[in-house]
Structure 1
Amino acid sequence: MEEPANVSSILTLQGYNLPPDAVIPAFLFASLGYMIILFCNLLLIITIIRNKSLHQPMYLLLLNLPINDLIGTTALFPQMIKQILLDVKTLPHSSCVTQAFFLHVYGTGTVLILSAMAYDRYIAICCPLKYNVIMTNSHLMKVITVMWLTNLTLISVLFYLLLRLPRCRSLMAHTYCDNPSLLTLVCADTSINNIYGLFTTALTQVIANGTVLYTYLQILVACFRNKGSDTKNKALQTCATHLIVFLLLECLGLFTIISSRIKNIPPDLRRLIGVSTLMFPPTVNPIIYGLKTKEIREKVIHMFKSKIFPS
């Protein structure tokens, strides 16, 4: 459906409403945060790609996580930094839709990738003798392909349903663009959109929570049955690392979903929760997996040493 002729193609976002003396500190904080995320995630990607010893299912699945994190942060941070420094509150509708699309790809992708990683750890710990038979290169490629195709299909349908509706408003209710904020600009029945949005959220949550709950229960049972303390400790450490990342994402995501549906929550708190969901996981993911994974940590140290002290 076509939009009314008098509707502007330029959207107005909610500002951060920072006092003048807080603009520069906020700009520096956001810029530094973005640079740290870029550096850590790119370092993790380069380390895995360059070292053939890391071309194993566990690390190739992990490789998808920093790639996905870079998609989400690059969709958010440049616009946020520009908005903070220059107090720019306008954005073309097409750019807003593009930002929202990739932010939703990031959110859905994260839970699917963590679910695939939980499945990999389950096979490795509970079925170690069958691991190489099950997690072949072809099977791994199928898992990764299904993961990304599912993500892109779910989000593409979500935005197709959004863009088919006429828009009669240009004032956004958020500091960045997402599907719920774009839906508030529509002047038509959004029941189908709301139902599909809840369906995709429920589907990804059932897949993620069901996979993680089942696999880690099985891993814990296998650990306590195994009398080897080294195997048990390594498995429990793997579980703890994965669960920290997963629970962090789930808690922040849940708060974001709840805050977008409760009108009594202060706008500043809603913005803080929304930005935190997109800022903290991409920051801690490469640090937790890079520092806590011995093989990756050793490769990173070796790579820096060879650059600083070439033989």
Structure 2
Amino acid sequence: MMVNSTLSYFILSAYIHVGSLKYLYFLLTAALYLVIIVVNASLLVVICVNRSLHEPMYLFLCSLLVNELYGSSGLFPFLLLQILSDVHSVPAQFCFLQIYCLYTYAHVEFCNLAVMSYDRYVAICWPLQYNTHMTFKKTVIFIGVLWLYSFLKFLITFSLNVRLPLCGNTISSLYCHNYLVVKLACSDTKVNNIFGLFGTVLTVLVPLLPILFSYTKILKILQSRFDLSDLSAVLRLLLSLYFLLIQPLLTPVIYGMQMSKIRNGYKSVFSCKTLTRCRDA
């Protein structure tokens, strides 16, 4: 990794001195991080242990859970350290590493949600062909491609940005931010900005298209199953917006917490009898 030889660290100026309140912020942040770790890790254990959950939809969920652990681990330990620290300086190498981690996490998240929406589209709109379209092999390929694509795509933008000569080292943020680092450059950043904009479009727009397509089709199927003729035009519009915008965001929750297989898996893995047998063994 190449870093400007005259720049060894960045300063995060968004942190303010809050006295003893920093311990409260530390506890709240640590509690949130702990919840994220416990929830995602326990779901992963349940899915891995129960063979009945080794299906495409749960494999996509596993990919999403692993990415949540990856992204949160790239952010929360750093925040916890900075909250307690009185000197908010970050080694340049670590700052660039955090940028790469957080941006690849965001891209994997969007791509994973897009693949999960397609999985739900096939399951709801083509239920008889679901097992043919979403085989184990295709599922593994989907997951492998979305992770590989996400890491390689940002590697180009990242390589351009990390070579920029920088004239400053102060970032007005709580963590290392790619755009704010580029703003410190002394040279022309037109190429970087173009690639950055192109990368943002690929990160957001490309996954958004299959999400919109999938849930539009799902909405049509739901409308055909339920009589909505008596509903007002405004209510129908709100329902449409719900299925197109809110539903994709709730997909991980729907996958993880509203399925009987997941709930039964939790009971079988974390029940008192199971824990007792494991302890006795």
- Contact persistence 2:216–2:244 (CA under 8 A): no
Determine helix, strand or coil for the equivalent of 2:171.
coil
Cα distance change on mapping 1:4 and 1:122 into 2, 3 Å: closer
Q: Which residue number in structure 2 is paired with residue 279 of structure 1?
A: none
Identity within the alignment, %: 35
Q: Which residue number in structure 2 is paired with residue 301 of structure 1?
A: 267
Q: Within 5 A, what are the aligned runs for 1:16-55? A: 16-55=15-54
- Contact persistence 1:101–1:178 (CA under 8 A): no
- Contact persistence 1:126–1:222 (CA under 8 A): yes
Q: Which residue number in structure 1 is paired with residue 217 of structure 2?
A: 218
TM-score in terms of structure 2 length: 0.85
Cα distance change on mapping 1:34 and 1:241 into 2, 3 Å: farther
Q: Which residue number in structure 2 is paired with residue 157 of structure 1?
A: 156
Determine helix, strand or coil for the equivalent of 2:10.
strand
Measure the CA separation in 2 of the matches of 1:4 and 1:198: 24
Compute the displacement of 1:19 (Å): 1.6
Q: Which residue number in structure 1 is paired with residue 13 of structure 2?
A: 14
Q: Which residue number in structure 2 is paired with residue 129 of structure 1?
A: 128
Q: Within 5 A, what are the aligned runs for 1:1-311? A: 7-226=6-225, 244=246, 246-247=248-249, 289-305=255-271, 306-308=273-275, 310=277
Measure the CA separation in 1 of the matches of 2:156 and 2:4: 24
- Contact persistence 2:4–2:165 (CA under 8 A): yes
Q: Deviations over 1:132-186 (max 9, x none)?
A: 1111122112211221121011111110111222222211221201211221222
Measure the CA separation in 2 of the matches of 1:58 and 1:68: 16
- Contact persistence 1:241–1:288 (CA under 8 A): no
Compute the displacement of 1:294 (Å): 2.3
Compute the displacement of 1:49 (Å): 1.1
Cα distance change on mapping 1:222 and 1:176 into 2, 3 Å: same
Gaps of 5+ in 1: 228-238, 249-284
Determine helix, strand or coil for the equivalent of 1:114.
helix
Compute the displacement of 1:219 (Å): 1.0
Cα distance change on mapping 1:144 and 1:3 into 2, 3 Å: closer
**Structure 1 residue identity aligned to 2:11:** T
Compute the displacement of 1:12 (Å): 1.1
Cα distance change on mapping 1:240 and 1:62 into 2, 3 Å: farther
Measure the CA separation in 2 of the matches of 1:130 and 1:139: 14
RMSD between superposed Cα atoms in Å: 2.5
Q: Which residue number in structure 2 is paired with residue 233 of structure 1?
A: none
Measure the CA separation in 1 of the matches of 2:244 and 2:58: 13
Q: How many matched pairs?
A: 263
Cα distance change on mapping 1:307 and 1:245 into 2, 3 Å: farther
Compute the displacement of 1:208 (Å): 2.1
Compute the displacement of 1:91 (Å): 0.9
Q: Which is greater in Rg?
A: 2
Q: Which residue number in structure 2 is paired with residue 252 of structure 1?
A: none
Compute the displacement of 1:125 (Å): 0.8
Cα distance change on mapping 1:241 and 1:91 into 2, 3 Å: farther
Measure the CA separation in 2 of the matches of 1:191 and 1:205: 21
Compute the displacement of 1:225 (Å): 2.7
TM-score in terms of structure 1 length: 0.78
